[in-house]
Structure 1
Amino acid sequence: MGSTADKIKGLANEAAGNVKQAAGKTLNKPGLEAEGMAQERKGEAQQALGKGKDAIKKVIDKV
């Protein structure tokens, strides 16, 4: 998967996680809130992976 795809999927997971967290707080459902936190972290990791791929590509392109 390319760096752009990783970043886009990461943003989507992060946004969905935030929605789940808010819904969990509003509905007093700790399980849903925890699921949202996990999904948000997954999205952050995907974005970091995409940024890492970009950094590696820039180094390779300079060589």
Structure 2
Amino acid sequence: MNLKKFIGASSAILLAWLGATYLHQVPSERYPSQTRSSLQSSTGPKHSAHEIVASIESNSSDK
């Protein structure tokens, strides 16, 4: 009987939280900007794809 009450209360709290977050309006200024400069790495890639493939091939041929 206690498990049913716990599941019912948890479900009600979750439903209320989901409803509140669904209805809450968030201004676009609160989201972080998604510019190209923020998505690119400042240091660049450490290894090129050719270097990685060559390393794998040399390791497999050593065996």
**TM-score, normalising length from structure 1?**
0.39
Q: Which one has a larger percent helix, Structure 1 or Structure 2? A: 1
Greater relative contact order (CA < 8 Å, ≥ 6 in sequence): 1
Give the number of the structure whose alpha-carbon radius of gyration is greater: 2
**TM-score, normalising length from structure 2?**
0.39
